[in-house]
Amino acid sequence: MGFLNNFIDRFNKAEFTIAPNKKLKTLSKEFAENFNLGLVFYKGNMIADGDLTLKKLNDKTSMDIQTSSSEELLLKANMTIGDVEKSFEQVYGVKVQIKDNTLSKLVPNKITLGQASREEY
């Protein structure tokens, strides 16, 4: 069943877009609704304030976060966790971690969002 699920993830039209003008807590909530996973934003090594937007986080961290209101990140179920986390760093300069839906453990980087959402790890 795993192979079939991975194949379906590849052609799944469901996508999740990250817009830099949304609050972090809103992005995390929407991510959880789409993938049944936790998305945690960091300011350095500390969890970022959920009331900040990605754009506002730039003022609160030493990392230079390059955002513009037109820059959006598109996430798909066939992307690996590691690639999603790297994409946040490359596009926005922000560190994120993807966790299980209880936010108690990290999801392995080598599996896909689809596998993680089905708890196939």
* pLDDT tens-place string over residues 7-62: 455 545 456 788 888 899 999 999 999 999 999 999 888 999 999 998 787 665 55
Residue with tokens 């972090």: 24
| Per-residue pLDDT reduced to its tens digit, 51-107 | 999 878 766 555 554 544 356 788 988 999 999 999 998 888 889 999 999 999 999
Tokens coding 80: 């690996």
Tokens coding 15: 């996508």
Q: Are 24 and 54 in contact (CB under 8 A)?
A: yes
Sorted by where each begins, the domain ranges of the chain are 2-117
- Taking the model in full, what pTM does it have? 0.80
3-state secondary structure of 6: helix
